[in-house]
Structure 1
Amino acid sequence: MGQRLCQRCKTPLTYRYLWAIGNGIEKIAPGTVVGDRYRVIAPQIWLDTRPNRPPEAPEEIPENLLAYLKLFAYRLHTPTIYSFTVWESTGVLLLENAPIDSSGKLFPAIASLLPTATAVRQVYWLWQLLDLWVPLKELGVATSLLIPDNIRIEGWRVRLRALYLDNEETAPPQLGDLAALWQSWATGYRETIQQPLQQISEAMQAVEINAPPEKIQAIALQLNQLLLERAATLPLRLNIASATSTGPRRSLNEDYCYPHPNARSSSESDALASHLAIVCDGVGGHAGGEVASQMAVRSLQIQLRALLNEISEQTELSSPQVVAEQLEALIRIANNLIANQNDEQEREARDRMGTTLVMALQLPQMLQTEDGQGNSHELYLGHLGDSRAYWITPRYCHLLTVDDDVAVREVRNGRNLHREALRRMDGGVLTQAVGTRVGDYIYPTLQRFILEEDGVLLLCSDGLSDKDRVEQYWETVFQPLFKDRATLDEIAQRWVDLANEKSGHDNVSVVLMHCQVTPEQPRLFDPSRVVAEEKTAEPTETELSESARALLYDTAEAPRQAEIPKTPTPGKSNYWMQVLTLLLAMLVVGVGSTIVWQLLSPESFNRFWQRYPAPEETTPEQ
């Protein structure tokens, strides 16, 4: 107990704390062992002393507990069922993913932290509660949001200790009840948000029991406006790094990411390069996965550049729902490019190429602030498959995504507990990926977060995330970065090296987005880093393998010509040749992006060109 590493193999030890629910169990003395397995740490906090053994699962899940399973997609905020046991003839429900820290203590209740939180964090917590209202109400557990002691806080994140069934017959919960709870906290709100929150609470109390969803959506837009206004007052600095590896046991890298470590942006001012991160893990035989992952990344690259151009011209904020719909449409377009290629090449079933996708876009919507204009600090995640996203700070590591696999499908359908579903032979099989079917039959997950604290967003393929490597080693790997002893590029490479060392069975790709909202601190000049950078050769973008080129372009490899010995050229001639090549490449990219922009967003394209006057017609002098 208390050791962080195994004394034999130095692997991080698992401490799985559970929240126990049952009549009278809060009176069980600490130190008691229940069922020869669970040690009581504190009232209702139990430790699984045998975490490597599968927990017991019932043959059938009680109907009154199905909400825990069906809300699995909201596991950032809700616990899920771990197992059941018995204490002196009393049935006990054990919940994992409960708001318990690494030392076995409950995270603080929201009311205790509100008075010391920043204005943006206060509004962010309330926004999460309102966002949970509809899904919890539909499953009959909205009461969970009305019990102050049930609402716990871990940094930016709202977490529920347990789910409580609504009493629909005598006192069905209403949105006004949530508003009343918010008003009970009003004395702790920052002065800048007290009046707007009062108005929003009054609007919530005016909503009838059976009000249409549009009324709740209108209130959500008001709260979102306040949230973004407060977030825009913060600075925001973004830095992105990536690394990828074929792995020691593979001959072909079917992963692809943006930005790619072997390619650099042609312009320091390229908004896309500083706001976008993508990881794709290709699937499909005969180099199909390699093609699919690159097609997906490059298609999204072009489309998202057009979207950012459109966002930069707009004068009003786009709502989270509108942005999510736009991003979903772009993912479907990328999907259909790959699906069409599968159809043209008559690929069927498992031979159809596809790719997982995890994508992060910091959407730089601009708001007017007292100091000028500020970034809205919105971070959107798009996700399909089992590539993952994590948010990591010096204090915690949060898994943001939920895998699209058979195990998760069984849980969300209420048929299995998650630990039980993972034991299935097909538990890890993907239920959807980009390109394997037409866009009407894929369901990307879109999420919106607010960047209001310093941290690192980590995107990775399953070559790293398998066996919970990120959860085990995040503190060790990221500590040098948080103490300014390593660069972001070095940390990205360390993750790849770790994956190759600990498993090495698969390709691995990592993209890191370092987000900082605190004022920049001056740093001492380090000449060793300058020397290291000067010695690093300028990389070039990764090319497709020969088999992948043949698959993508449906052509056989052309016969190679005999190599002509190269003669050295003067330095000045070589310099101008590089400049000419760069200008030509920029011209090709610009023309291609313009064509795609016109096809994907004709309204934005036309608005852009209408700003320039048409040339005046002239008649030749007589």
Structure 2
Amino acid sequence: MSRFAVKLQCPNPDCLYAENQVGQVTCDRCQSPLTYRYLWAVGRKAAQLAVGTLVDCRYAVVSPQVWLDTQPGLLPEAPVQILDSALPYLRLHSQRLHLPGLFSIHPVGESPIFLLENAPIDATGNLLPLLESAWPAAPAVRQLNWVWQMFQLWQALKPQGVSSSLLVAENLHVEGWRLRLREIVVDASDPVDSIQSEALAHTNPAKARNPLVAMVMGTHADHAPQAAVLEPPESVATLPLTSSFLAARTAPPCLADLANLWQLWAADAHPAIQDSLHQLCGLMRETPETETSMREIAARLNHLLLSEAARLPLQIDLAGATTTGTQRSHNEDACYPLVDGTKSLVPDIPGVGIICDGIGGHEGGEVASQIALRSLQLQLHTWRSELLAQPEPLPPTVIAEQLAGIVRVVNNLIAAQNDLQGREQRQRMGTTLVMAVQPPQTISTAPKGNTHELYLVHVGDSRAYWLTADRCQLLTVDDDVASREVRAGRCLYSQVYAQPNAAALTQALGTREADQISITVQRFVLDEDGILLLCSDGLSDNNLVEQFWASATRPVLQDQLTLKTALQEWIALANRQNGHDNASIVLMHCRLSDAPHLFDPNGKASLTKRSDAATADADLTESAKALLYDDETGTTQPPKAAVLPKQNPAPQKSFDGWLVGLGTAALMFLLGALGYAIWRELAPTRFQPNPTEPAEVQEE
């Protein structure tokens, strides 16, 4: 059948009109936005299906191995069992920024086809550019950024036995700064009995005759195999590669194989990094893959990356606001910074954005989010001051440990408050967290400049997005039941996400002790202009960011809209579409240029009363204020029994005394003998998350 004869079903469950023409934006019947879900098909039969084929009256083959789901409003058929070869896709769910996910397993005789979502396919169904095609024209900092991501992924993929995924040039795509893999390739020393591919022989006979060259050379036709670098293996075992054209040796891949691929690209690298990249590849080939050698390689590569990044100036503008929403009477969210400012415990903290979404009811969640926000401000202010005194940048692992340690202090403050109030199980208050930190580190380059690092700290389901003129990229993975079940290998994400409790949180700050909380810390290096959007689920629910990002992003990047006006538009969108919930938003505009703005980036725009974060304290209930403030007489009233079920009413400290006590407690973790000794002297095992699966956290 013809591709243009395919009809698309409306995803609206109340409509499901199935006669929309491919190419339309909205449904003919209900005007709902149409969903174009393009899937990458992996399997022996996938490459053999002709374009125009309609599989199971649902999936249209629009190009080789690219299938369009014509019924995006319906769940895919659940597999009878999850094959062992599918487990790496599930266990690596937390790497969705770079890896595809398993949408469905489609049976075709005895050779099933894996249908992958989140594959490197654009909105029109075309594959994103290959890394090797984008490499020669990329600036040095971006080339090193891609290499750094590959090195980090190598350490994540190797324990799962799929590091071969990084050794195939035709499996590596890019979306701007971001490295994306087309599929996962299993490291196998013996022939596998599932998803074996014959596409190599059918698609590229020349590469089929030299599988090792296919693995390391990719599509570099102008390079000849170098015997000194690539020695043919004694035997070759076929892998489940499909379009990757990979054939593996009997031995698992090693770091030298990754160095061989980089060595080929080094010839086309930017002249400023060619020699350094060659030297790094030599070190990787000569050094055994040990923990010590990996740290040394990471340190060298990181120094190269930060040195190149620091050559451009970095400007960061921040704006944030919170809104109660149209259907709630109180606000459990808290954020920093605030558009018009509020009375703060510490001076402004440059390069920091924080979103906290409280849980535990209107007399608990708002308290937890405020405790978290104020403790983070106190600790980060001191942390940044000490970081400024460092002569050279600290390694990313050290920064990540320090930020995670700060968050653990916050967690224990909220947990102690829960214990004091006698809160148990689902009565315990807590808060989600998404925090962006641009550390003030510099590197001794000419001229000396900021290292452009950006750290994201994440717990719960508040999110971070990277927005540019042509891309919207979700950077975080929710800590919810759906993600937990997928990582455990029990089900596909497309199946569990439809369950009623799929979005229930599995962890939040303050609900349990710090050693039972898994804190995600990601490090990025900014190499392009863009806007980092942090938000609570009051904005991200119903995919609002993915639908409406462009109209509030492009004008800001083109200096046609102030950051505050864009923030106002986001707040209005959240109130209009998701008004049932509180919403908090922080925008971080990152510019890699010393050119001045055409106008004041904050402009003269002001938000409405409810979206103005200066009224955040007014949204607190009286019982919540009893934990954070005093009344006009200087004493607080005894909290209600619903707030403190096991605590007898007793005189409480004044606001000033309570606040000073909280500030002192937080600062004691960072000053004097209890300062950085927390991260440097305590046993690392102290901070490891509990291996047991956490119970669900009820979100109000």
TM-score band w.r.t. shorter chain: 0.7 to 0.9
Cα gap change, 1:132 to 1:294, in 2 (>3 Å): same
Name the CA distance, whole Å, in 2 between partners of 1:549 and 1:295.
Answer: 11
1:176-212 Cα deviation digits (max 9, x unpaired): 000000001112101111111111111111233xx43
What's the Cα RMSD here? 3.0
Q: State the match for 1:304 in structure 2.
A: 380
| Structure 2: stretches of 5+ with no match in the other structure | 1-21, 191-249, 636-654, 678-700
Q: How far off is 1:332 after superposition?
A: 0.5
* Contact kept in structure 2, 1:241 and 1:511, CA below 8 Å: yes
Cα gap change, 1:504 to 1:456, in 2 (>3 Å): same
Cα gap change, 1:343 to 1:555, in 2 (>3 Å): farther
Q: How far off is 1:213 after superposition?
A: 1.9
* Contact kept in structure 1, 2:469 and 2:557, CA below 8 Å: yes
Q: State the match for 2:341 in structure 1.
A: 263
Cα gap change, 1:476 to 1:199, in 2 (>3 Å): same
Does 2:254 align with 1:174? yes
Name the CA distance, whole Å, in 2 between partners of 1:554 and 1:350.
Answer: 25
Structure 2 matches for 1:236-275, cutoff 5 A?
Answer: 236-263=314-341, 272=349, 274-275=350-351
Q: How far off is 1:481 after superposition?
A: 1.9
Alignment: residue pair count: 574
- Which of 399, 410, 413 aligns to 1:323? It is 399
Q: State the match for 2:124 in structure 1.
A: 103
Does 2:414 align with 1:334? no
Q: State the match for 1:600 in structure 2.
A: 670
Does 2:267 align with 1:187? yes
Structure 2 matches for 1:119-158, cutoff 5 A?
Answer: 119-158=140-179
* Contact kept in structure 2, 1:153 and 1:159, CA below 8 Å: yes
Q: State the match for 2:285 in structure 1.
A: 205
Q: State the match for 1:581 in structure 2.
A: none
Q: State the match for 2:696 in structure 1.
A: none
* Contact kept in structure 1, 2:319 and 2:586, CA below 8 Å: yes
Q: State the match for 2:105 in structure 1.
A: 84
Q: How far off is 1:440 after superposition?
A: 1.3
Structure 2 matches for 1:347-358, cutoff 5 A?
Answer: 347-358=423-434
Name the CA distance, whole Å, in 2 between partners of 1:535 and 1:507.
Answer: 15
Which stretches of structure 1, 4 residues or more, deviate above 3 A after TM superposition? 5-12, 86-90, 264-267, 532-536, 538-542, 548-551, 553-560, 588-599, 603-607
Cα gap change, 1:286 to 1:226, in 2 (>3 Å): same
Q: How far off is 1:10 after superposition?
A: 4.9
Cα gap change, 1:556 to 1:122, in 2 (>3 Å): same
Q: State the match for 2:181 in structure 1.
A: 160
Q: How far off is 1:236 after superposition?
A: 0.5
Q: State the match for 2:359 in structure 1.
A: 283
The letter of the residue matching 2:544 is R
The TM-score normalised by the length of structure 2 is 0.77
Q: How far off is 1:245 after superposition?
A: 1.0
Does 2:513 align with 1:438? yes
1:505-536 Cα deviation digits (max 9, x unpaired): 1111110000011342562799x966x67999
Name the CA distance, whole Å, in 2 between partners of 1:42 and 1:410.
Answer: 32
Name the CA distance, whole Å, in 2 between partners of 1:10 and 1:518.
Answer: 42
* Contact kept in structure 1, 2:338 and 2:613, CA below 8 Å: no
* Contact kept in structure 2, 1:262 and 1:541, CA below 8 Å: no
Worse-superposed segment, 392-401 or 542-551:
542-551
Name the CA distance, whole Å, in 2 between partners of 1:73 and 1:341.
Answer: 31
Q: How far off is 1:598 after superposition?
A: 5.2
1:242-290 Cα deviation digits (max 9, x unpaired): 12111111111101100123525889x9561x31001111001242000
The letter of the residue matching 1:184 is L
Q: State the match for 2:616 in structure 1.
A: 542
Q: Secondary structure at the match of 1:600?
A: coil
Q: How far off is 1:33 after superposition?
A: 0.9
Q: Secondary structure at the match of 1:308?
A: helix
Q: State the match for 2:198 in structure 1.
A: none
The letter of the residue matching 1:50 is Q
Name the CA distance, whole Å, in 2 between partners of 1:534 and 1:404.
Answer: 31
Q: State the match for 1:72 in structure 2.
A: 93
Name the CA distance, whole Å, in 2 between partners of 1:553 and 1:594.
Answer: 15
Q: State the match for 1:475 in structure 2.
A: 550
Cα gap change, 1:529 to 1:521, in 2 (>3 Å): closer
Q: How far off is 1:593 after superposition?
A: 6.7
Structure 2 matches for 1:223-622, cutoff 5 A?
Answer: 223-263=301-341, 272=349, 274-371=350-447, 373-521=448-596, 523=598, 540=614, 542-543=616-617, 545-549=620-624, 551-552=626-627, 596-597=666-667, 599-602=669-672
The letter of the residue matching 2:284 is M
Cα gap change, 1:265 to 1:319, in 2 (>3 Å): farther
The letter of the residue matching 1:448 is R
Worse-superposed segment, 73-82 or 594-603:
594-603
* Contact kept in structure 1, 2:40 and 2:119, CA below 8 Å: yes
* Contact kept in structure 1, 2:559 and 2:597, CA below 8 Å: no
Name the CA distance, whole Å, in 1 between partners of 2:600 and 2:406.
Answer: 43
Q: How far off is 1:135 after superposition?
A: 1.7
Name the CA distance, whole Å, in 1 between partners of 2:270 and 2:671.
Answer: 41
Q: Secondary structure at the match of 1:491?
A: helix
* Contact kept in structure 2, 1:394 and 1:482, CA below 8 Å: yes
Q: State the match for 2:41 in structure 1.
A: 20
Q: How far off is 1:600 after superposition?
A: 1.6
Worse-superposed segment, 541-550 or 226-235:
541-550
Cα gap change, 1:129 to 1:350, in 2 (>3 Å): same
Worse-superposed segment, 83-92 or 448-457:
83-92
Name the CA distance, whole Å, in 2 between partners of 1:555 and 1:364.
Answer: 36
Q: How far off is 1:86 after superposition?
A: 3.8
Name the CA distance, whole Å, in 2 between partners of 1:529 and 1:167.
Answer: 58
Q: Secondary structure at the match of 2:273?
A: helix
Name the CA distance, whole Å, in 1 between partners of 2:452 and 2:348.
Answer: 14
The TM-score normalised by the length of structure 1 is 0.86
1:304-347 Cα deviation digits (max 9, x unpaired): 11110011001122111001100010000001111000000001
More helix as a share of residues: 1
* Contact kept in structure 1, 2:315 and 2:592, CA below 8 Å: yes
- Which of 273, 276, 280 aligns to 1:196? It is 276
The letter of the residue matching 1:278 is I
Q: Secondary structure at the match of 2:78?
A: coil
Cα gap change, 1:337 to 1:43, in 2 (>3 Å): same
Q: How far off is 1:5 after superposition?
A: 3.5
